[in-house]
């Protein structure tokens, strides 16, 4: 074999190798940039270091793209130069040189270095991206001085032309991200369900969860405390519309059942003074998301829903929206006895089986969730006391004291709750009646 033939063979082998490298660059670009945004986000906390590397590459995708394009263009230029060198060494006729050069430099390069690998990478984007991530990451590190200059130049051009505002994830992309994160163990089943139900609030309307007009009870401004108490007991309604002329459509205030029962018997005679100022109206077709935002902005716990003609069609409360989100209905009929009686300054009588959440809401207490395992006041009392309660026992947490006013069958039936100034009591102290 003469030296010229050997050189030609080496040049052809080098061309084949460069075409393979070009195919790798093209497939790397296609596979990485074909991954959906939710999938890339799910790689951020993935246990696989390669997938975390993919997230790193795509979090700075501009520089990654510059790196891949630079490598691909460099390789294609080398292929073109080698092709010219081979054609010159073969010493073919001009017409035949043109044909062979077109086949090797254009058809073969496009077919095997661009089109075919990009097609395969698009179909198997997730699998192939795992293989190309590490080489691309290394190339990006090595070429960072060059790519950083190019990136700054491109950023300057984009700033002059007007940079497009970044687009956030759509609802479908978020839901896809939640599913992928659940599959990889980032979210628990309950967390994923809660987040999906949060998105569902954007599609559900007020009329789908409100208390309809047919089931809605209202009171007049002249109603007696006994009448109000009976209405709340019989219909388990947390908020009562208040009207001046006996018609629901003219309601101009809302009475909170919790606020009413927090009044002393003397204060209940003038219950009108505890009315929530004004009344908030919300269209029944409004989404729960917008309704909750409106109620928070107006600092209202309840609102009247109005139909397209302006008539009252129901009542919606924050509890209704929250229960729709968590899947748990929060109703007054969960309380064994609705009465809570205010017996003095910062002192109330509760039923022992009333829920701890009910007391927190009624007295506006700030207690971190999960602090107590028990759900009822009697359960919390026993949890703090560490024994079967006896009449006269008392326990305290933060600035709240629980006193067992009456005990029956090993449980507190009536409990005196005293709220002192913050800092008076320690965290979870106990006192027993006989000591």
Smallest CA-to-CA distance from 377 within 397, 368, 323 is with: 397
What CA–CA distances, in Å, run from 115 to 111, 135, 137, 427?
5, 21, 23, 70
pLDDT of residue 197: 72
What is the number of alpha carbons within 13 Å of residue 304 lying toward its C-beta? Answer: 27
Residues whose CB falls within 8 Å of the CB of residue 388, separated by 6 or more in sequence, listed in order: 382, 410
pLDDT of residue 334: 42
Number of domains in the chain: 4
- Dist CA 431 CA 435 (whole Å): 7
pLDDT of residue 166: 66
Q: Which of 161, 189, 223 is a domain's end point?
A: 161
Smallest CA-to-CA distance from 377 within 390, 364, 395, 392 is with: 395
pLDDT of residue 131: 92
**Same domain membership, residue 423 and residue 276:** no
108 belongs to a structural domain = yes
β 302-306/347-351 pair status: unpaired
Return the CATH number at 216: 3.10.580.10
pLDDT of residue 404: 92
**Token reading at 397:** 């947490």
pLDDT of residue 426: 40
What residues pair up with 349 in beta bridges, in sequence order? 341, 416
| Angle, vertex CA 140, rays to CA 135 and CA 144, nearest 5 | 155
pLDDT of residue 27: 92
* Torsion angle of C-alpha atoms 81, 86, 89, 92, degrees rounded to 10: -110
pLDDT along the chain (435 residues), means of 10: 73 86 91 85 85 89 89 87 79 78 76 87 90 92 86 79 68 76 76 75 81 88 88 84 88 85 82 76 89 88 89 89 62 47 83 85 84 89 90 91 87 89 48 45
pLDDT of residue 1: 53
**Same domain membership, residue 189 and residue 283:** no
Q: Which of 103, 138, 161 is a domain's end point?
A: 161
> Against a cut of 0.75, is the pTM above it?
no
8-28 core/surface letters (b: 16 or more CB in 10 A; e: else): eeebeeebeebbebbbbbbbb
**Same domain membership, residue 195 and residue 121:** no
**Same domain membership, residue 414 and residue 287:** no
**Same domain membership, residue 227 and residue 323:** yes
**Same domain membership, residue 292 and residue 407:** no
pLDDT of residue 418: 93
**Same domain membership, residue 415 and residue 290:** no
Return the CATH number at 359: 3.30.465.10
- Dist CA 197 CA 159 (whole Å): 40
**Same domain membership, residue 406 and residue 307:** no
pLDDT of residue 339: 52
**Same domain membership, residue 211 and residue 191:** no
**Same domain membership, residue 365 and residue 283:** no
At residue 214, the 3 state secondary structure works out as helix
Instruction: Supply the range of the domain harboring residue 156.
Output: 3-161
166 belongs to a structural domain = no
Q: 326: part of which helix (H) or strand (E)? A: helix 318-326
- Dist CA 273 CA 260 (whole Å): 10
**Same domain membership, residue 141 and residue 62:** yes
pLDDT of residue 93: 78
Q: Which of 315, 333, 351 is a domain's end point?
A: 333
**Same domain membership, residue 349 and residue 318:** no
- Dist CA 40 CA 176 (whole Å): 11
């Amino acid at each position: 074999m003469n030296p010229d033939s050997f050189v030609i063979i080496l040049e052809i082998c080098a061309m084949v190798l460069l075409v393979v490298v070009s195919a790798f660059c093209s497939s790397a670009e296609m596979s990485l940039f074909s991954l959906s945004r939710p999938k890339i986000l799910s790689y951020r906390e993935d246990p696989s270091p390669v997938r975390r590397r993919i997230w790193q590459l795509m979090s700075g995708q501009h520089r990654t793209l510059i790196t891949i394009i630079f490598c691909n263009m460099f390789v294609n230029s080398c292929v073109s130069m080698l092709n010219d060198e081979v054609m010159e060494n073969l010493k073919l006729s001009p017409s035949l040189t043109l044909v062979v050069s077109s086949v090797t430099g254009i058809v073969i390069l496009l077919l095997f270095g661009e089109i075919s690998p990009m097609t395969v990478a698009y179909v198997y984007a997730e699998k192939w991206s795992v293989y190309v991530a590490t080489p691309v990451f290394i190339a990006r590190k090595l070429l960072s001085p060059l790519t950083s200059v190019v990136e700054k130049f491109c950023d300057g051009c984009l700033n002059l032309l007007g940079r497009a505002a970044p687009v956030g994830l759509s609802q479908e992309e978020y839901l896809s991200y939640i599913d992928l994160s659940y599959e990889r163990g980032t979210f628990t089943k309950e967390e994923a369900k809660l987040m999906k139900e949060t998105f569902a609030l954007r599609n559900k309307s007020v009329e789908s969860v409100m208390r309809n007009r047919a089931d809605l009870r209202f009171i007049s401004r002249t109603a007696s405390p006994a009448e109000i108490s009976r209405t709340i007991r019989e219909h388990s309604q947390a908020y009562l519309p208040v009207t001046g002329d006996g018609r629901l459509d003219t309601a101009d205030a809302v009475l909170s059942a919790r606020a009413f029962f927090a009044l002393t018997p003397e204060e209940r005679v003038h219950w009108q003074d505890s009315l929530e100022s004004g009344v908030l109206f919300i269209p029944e077709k409004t989404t729960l998301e917008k309704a909750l935002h409106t109620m928070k902005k107006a600092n209202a716990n309840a609102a009247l829903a109005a139909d397209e003609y302006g008539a009252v069609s129901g009542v919606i409360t924050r509890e209704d929206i929250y229960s729709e989100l968590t899947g748990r209905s929060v109703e007054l009929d969960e309380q064994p006895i609705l009465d809570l009686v205010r017996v003095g300054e910062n002192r109330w009588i509760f039923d022992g089986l009333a829920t701890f959440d009910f007391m927190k809401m009624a007295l506006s207490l700030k207690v971190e969730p999960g602090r107590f395992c028990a759900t009822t006041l009697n359960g919390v009392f026993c949890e703090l006391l560490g024994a079967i309660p006896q009449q006269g026992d008392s326990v305290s947490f933060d600035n709240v004291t629980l006193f067992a006013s009456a005990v029956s069958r090993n449980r507190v039936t009536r409990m005196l709750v005293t709220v002192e100034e913050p800092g008076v009591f320690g965290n979870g102290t106990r006192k027993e009646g006989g000591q």
